[in-house]
Each structure stands twice: as C-alpha cells, then as structure tokens.
Amino acid sequence: MKGLEIEFLGTGTSTGVPQIKCSCQVCCSDDARDKRLRSSVIVRHKGKNLLIDCGPDFRTQILNASNNNLDALLISHIHYDHVGGIDDLRAYCSPEKPFPLYARQDVVNALKAHMPYCFSDSPYPGVPSFDITVIDNKAFLVGEVEILPLEVMHANLPILGFKIANMAYITDASYISSKTMQQLHNLDLLVINALRTEPHHSHFSLEETLTIIRKLTPQRAILTHMSHGIGLHEKVNKKLPQNVELAHDGLIVSI
C-alpha cells in the first residue's frame, strides 16, 4: 500500500500531558514528545483529508498541522476528549456547504442534545453546520476512500476504530472481539491505544496492547492515547519491540 499519510495531531488521553496539578517526571519533562494533546489524527488518502475525532485541543492542533485541509470528520465515540472541539469546525462549513460528519447513531443523538444550536431548524448565523451520515459496522466511502468501521469496547461502551486501506486506527479500546481481530491481521500499520503501564478498567495497558500486536503481527505498530503513566517517551521507546513505537504530537507517517 502506498499513498496514505497519517498525521498525529494529539496522542494523549483525556487529561492531556502534562496533567493539571501533576509534578511527576513525565509532566515535568522538557522533551516535546512527552507533551501530549488529546488524541486525534488526520488521514490523507486518495485526495481526501479525513479527521478522526475532534477534541478540545482541535484549534491548537489544526493551526500547527502541516496541512489544514479537511474533507470530513469520523468520530470514534462521544466522550468529550474526542468531540469537544467540533464547534471550531465552523471554519470548514457554511449553510450552503455543511461539513461531512460520520458517526454512530448514539453519537449523533448525543451531539444533537449537547449542541442543539448546530442542529436547529433556524440556526443563527455563523454556527457550524454538518452533513451527517450515520454509520454502523459496514464499510462506507468518502470520495474514493473506503473506510471500514471497527467495533471495539471502551469498558461497556461500544465505540469505533477505522480501517483505511491497510492501516487501522483504534483508540480508547479495552477489548477487541475475535470478529474485529480477524479484520486486523497483516496490516501495514496498526495505530492503537496504550494508556499506561498499570492496568485500567476502560483502556488497554501497555502490556495488553503489546500482546494484541504480537497476535496481529502488523508490519508496524504505533501507540497512542497515552497518559503520563506510560513513562518517558525516550526511555519507553527504547524498550519496545523493533516494529513498535510511541506516537508523539506532530508525527507524520507515510505508508
């Protein structure tokens, strides 16, 4: 597979790193790779620029991105660190050209409840407007780009990862079913969450993620959605298997 690029806008968990009121060695690190905004990426493929999740750091992220063109938003789930920046998408839409948004029905329902001003029959001027497509577990197209939603569990909440070409992006998972695992074998690139070294009730720990990577054998795996509990980037990266690495904000990977 050639011609796919993924840019990591943010690689942190819901609190970001540094975490407020924390003085641990990771939060106090001078290494830019240890400073993590909330998780989001842009996937560029076949002429489309696909934003996956739009958290509260989106404005900062898109101003710092290598290319700020966007064609659509894919939402993994409704938690604030993944949707808290959606209002800033107003720069990409107008009443005549709503911005394409793809999400599960439960996410759409929650967005309408939390942001009713965006979905009013008579919206006031300047609010963001969206062209919503409800997705489930079936593949869909954005232009010529085929996207396969991947259902995973975030504790008891079903959420979505996404497979685009031979790359898969999964965040916030704590369980992946055998059916979804079958869709993830022999990838060129697997991006997957690893919250910290200690176990957590709703996110994979580092060792749990490495176990999944060993089962799936992707050519390359990149870890994201990390808290300060993952440890220092430089030290942890050196201990990972040869084909596994930690993501960092601003990382761009082409495959």
CB half-sphere exposure, 150, CA atoms < 13 A: 28
Place of tokens 């001078």: 30
Query: pLDDT tens digit string along 192-245?
Result: 999 999 999 999 999 999 999 999 999 999 999 999 999 999 999 999 999 999
Overall CATH class of domain 4-254: alpha beta
Confidence at residue 1, expressed as pLDDT on a 0 to 100 scale: 41
Confidence at residue 248, expressed as pLDDT on a 0 to 100 scale: 98
Max CA distance (Å), the chain = 56
Measured in Å, how far apart are the chain's first and last C-alpha atoms?
7
Q: Are 28 and 241 in contact (CB under 8 A)?
A: no
DSSP-based three-state secondary structure for 179:
helix
Residue ranges of the chain whose pLDDT lies below 50: 1
Q: Which long-range contacts (CB under 8 A, 24 or more apart) does 241-246 make?
A: 241/210, 241/213, 243/218, 243/219, 244/210, 244/213, 244/220, 245/220, 245/221, 246/11, 246/33, 246/222
